[in-house]
């Protein structure tokens, strides 16, 4: 789970690749750097992410069987919500209780 700002969007085949500025990490099982690519299948029911907007994002690391593809993927069971200070507070409180 992280707070990120969408910098750019590009359609690549059946997916959309977003360039994201990672602003803050809340819970993470894998390291993130200050800029990451977030991949979203075009079949995902997620709302489109707008360039320049900030979101609270829950994505997962996807590594293929050959270990040649390692990327951050936002799937249908992921979470993408416009960022607000309230969202950040709720995530911090939930993380403390885990």
Stretch 13-26: mean pLDDT? 91
Please give the model's pTM, rounded to 2 decimal places. Answer: 0.78
Q: For residue range 54-92, what is the model confidence (pLDDT) as tens digits? A: 999 988 888 766 666 678 998 877 888 898 877 767 766
Query: What's the CA dihedral at 73, 38, 36, 9 to 10 degrees?
Result: 170
Here the tokens at position 24 are 């803050």
If DSSP states are collapsed to H, E and C, what string results for the chain? CEEEEEEEEEEECCEEEEEEEEEEECCCCCCCCCEEEEEEECCCCCCCCCCCCEEEEECEEEECCCCCCEEEECCCCCEEEECCHHHHHHHHHHHHHC
pLDDT of residue 41: 87
21-33 tens-digit pLDDT: 999 888 767 788 8
**Distance in angstroms (rounded) separating the CA atoms of residues 53 and 9:** 12
pLDDT tens digits along 33-56: 899 999 998 866 666 799 999 999
């Amino acid at each position: 789970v992280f707070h990120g700002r969408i910098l750019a969007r590009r359609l690549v085949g059946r997916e959309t690749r977003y360039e994201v500025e990672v602003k803050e990490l809340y819970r993470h099982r894998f390291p993130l750097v200050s800029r990451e690519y977030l991949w979203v299948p075009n079949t995902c029911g997620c709302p489109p992410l707008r360039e320049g907007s900030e979101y609270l994002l829950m994505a997962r690391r996807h590594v293929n069987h050959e270990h040649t593809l390692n990327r951050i993927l936002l799937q249908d069971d992921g979470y993408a919500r416009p960022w607000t200070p309230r969202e950040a507070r709720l995530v911090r409180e939930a993380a403390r209780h885990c």
